[in-house]
Every structure is written in C-alpha cells, then in structure tokens.
Amino acid sequence: MNYLTSFYSKATAVLLAAVLTLATLTLRAEAQQNPFAGGWTLQPAMSALNFQSVKKQTVVENSSFATLEGTIAEDGTTKVSVLLDSVDTKIDLRNVRMRFLFFETFKFPSATITTEMDAGLLNDLRDKRRKTVPVRYTMELHGVTKSFDAEVAVTLLSEDLVSVASTTPISVSVSDFDLLEGLGKLQDAANVTIIPSATVSFDFVFARNSTLASATPAPAAKPESVALEVEGDFDREACKGRFEILSRTGNIYFPSGSARHDAKSEPLLNSLAGIIARCPNMVIEVGGHTDSVGSEATNQSLSEKRAESVKRYLISRDLDPTVLVSKGYGESSPIATNETRKGRWANRRIEFKVLSN
C-alpha cells in the first residue's frame, strides 16, 4: 500500500510538472506570437519628438515637445498624444509665439498620432531584437485629420522596453493642417520668412504594462500647465512680450457692427486672463481698433465699446478690476491697408499692452 501511495504521488508530481511546463511554454508561445500582449505605456522621460524648421532659407532651427502621452494596445493599436503647449524652442517668447500664433493651443491643445502595428510582422521581435516595418498612421493636428505612410524601426530594448522610432525624417506640410495663416502671423511677429514645412523625427519608448508600478494611469496633464516657462509671476519684459504676441492672434471676434464678442473668442481670452493674473503690479490696457469703413465717429464709439466688452469679460475671470483699463482708438492706428478685405480684417483688432507706471 505504501508502495502504491508512493508511486501515485510521484506520478502525480510528474504529471503536474508536465502540465506546468506545458502552460509556461504555451504562455511564452502566445507572448512570442503577440508582442503587444498585456499592452504597453509610453515613457515620456525616455521618449523624444523633434522637428526642424527653416527660416531665412538657410537657418535651421531644432525644436521639440516636452510632454507626450501614449499607449500600445494588445491589438497593436498605437496612440500618442502631444501636448502642444509643451513646445520647446529653447527661447521663451518663441515658445509663446508658437503656442498662440502658430498652433493656436487655446483652441487645439494637442496633436494625436494613431496607427495599428501588425503583430504578425513583429512576432519574432524577441529573436530579431530590431525590425523595420511599414505603417499607415493618422495625424490629427489643428482640427485637421490626415493619413500618411511611413516606416518605423521597432527595437526590443529589453524584455520590458520597446522603442518605436522613425527611420528617416518625415516631412509635414503646413498647408496640410490649415496652418498657413498661423505661419503668416509667425513670420510677421518674428519678421522672418519661414519655409512652409517641417521635418519630424521621433523615438517613442514604451514599457510593458505588467512591469509598471501601478496599473492606474497618471491623471492627464492640463494643457496649459505643461508650457515651458517660469513658475509663478512673470517679470515686466515677459509680460510685455506676451501681450504683444497675443495682440497678433486675431482670435477675438465681433459680429459686424456689434460690441459683443463672439463666444469663440473666449478660449483665447481665458488664456489671456491667466497671463494677466501672473503680471502683478502692472496695469494692462485693452485697446480697440477698427477699419475705416463707416464714419470716424461711429468707428471711435465702436472701438471703445468693444474694448470695454473685452475688459468686462476679463474681469469676470476673477481679475482685479483695477489692473485693467480700456481705450478705443477707432480707425486712427491701422496696421494694414484698408483697401483690401484682408487689410480691413487685420485693422479690426483688440490689442493689449503694459502701461508705464
């Protein structure tokens, strides 16, 4: 009896070991077949998204974005979000121009890149370690969505880290994403010519979800909080520069002949209120300007009412009323010709400036 008990115990142990071994091999085989099993999460500190632009025909400028978010799902669906307020040109006011004049981040705070990587092309990644695969990706930027083809290099850095990187720089045309007007504002503000396209390169590093300390994702960052600028209050020069740039946006709208701003003006005005709050001990003038259509007296009155309307809205955003004054300039200070529609549009504007103490 003892012999039989011992025999069956050994047989059961052998069978159990065989089952466990088979299960382990099955799991490994499944993982080998699906490199995205369990999902992956982008590691921002290890990732990079860079772009090059050219001004004055030959001057190349390198810029990047500091805040990225992304995932790879088990089915290979890859999504990366770029918070555009985190643009990094290495110069403070250049960052502000890119944010407010070019990307218009107060309306379009992020860009999104999505693609579906074919697991079948990568099921031998553990053995190969690095593979170049074709992808068709979709980019959503500035309210426009377009699809393109590219090649990416997928590199298994370790069992728990994978890199997805561009193999060559990718050309992105400004016109593809309705950014030509923003480019014009950028050129006017910087007084330079800029080639209307950029080359983009990236290296996104993802970690296997099973290795992350917590399965709970970190809360999404607020777009305006990722801007690369000093914390706390701005000094006088930083405030002056910002108000000059925001005066060029052209994103404060009024119906014809009306002093009531359109609701689509409010994203910019909300951003402006946040900047004013960080400019202590300064008085900010809200200046209204018109084109020359109509009588001079009518335009003067309209400019005053529009400036006052913007001032009232800003005060409603919890600003101290004593830091704001409004003034109407009518048609007296044009910045463009009133002979064209485009020029008249430019002349109908609200400007902001720091008054002298």
The overall average pLDDT reported for the chain is 89
Percent of the chain as helix, strand, coil, to the nearest 5:
40, 30, 35
User: In the structure encoding, which two tokens stand for residue 293, read together?
Assistant: 């259509």
> What's the pLDDT tens digit per position in 254-301?
888 889 999 999 999 999 999 999 999 999 999 999 999 999 999 999
> What's the pLDDT tens digit per position in 3-28?
445 544 555 554 555 445 444 444 44
Greater confidence, 29 or 47?
47
What number of CA atoms fall less than 13 Å from residue 324's CA on the CB side? 26
pLDDT > 70 fraction of the chain, expressed in percent and rounded = 87
What is the sign of the dihedral through the CA atoms of 289, 295, 301 and 306? negative
With a threshold of 0.95, does the pTM exceed it?
A: no
What number of CA atoms fall less than 13 Å from residue 112's CA on the CB side? 12
> What's the pLDDT tens digit per position in 102-134?
999 999 999 999 999 998 899 899 899 999 999
> What's the pLDDT tens digit per position in 41-85?
999 999 999 999 999 999 999 999 999 999 999 999 999 999 999
For residue 123, give the 3-state DSSP assignment.
coil
Beta-sheet pairing, 324-328 with 284-289: parallel
Residue type, 313: Y
For residue 271, give the 3-state DSSP assignment.
helix
> What's the pLDDT tens digit per position in 312-349?
999 999 999 999 999 999 999 999 999 999 899 889 99
pLDDT score for 23 = 46
Q: Residue 62 burial (CB < 10 Å; 0-12/13-18/19+)?
A: exposed
Q: CB under 8 Å, gap of 24 or more: what pairs does 295-300 form? A: 296/330, 296/331, 299/330, 299/331, 300/328, 300/329, 300/330, 300/331
pLDDT score for 357 = 62
Q: Which domains, from first to last, does the chain contain?
A: 38-226 (2.40.128.110), 236-354 (3.30.1330.60)
Element (H, E) at 157: strand 144-158
pLDDT score for 93 = 96
For residue 194, give the 3-state DSSP assignment.
strand
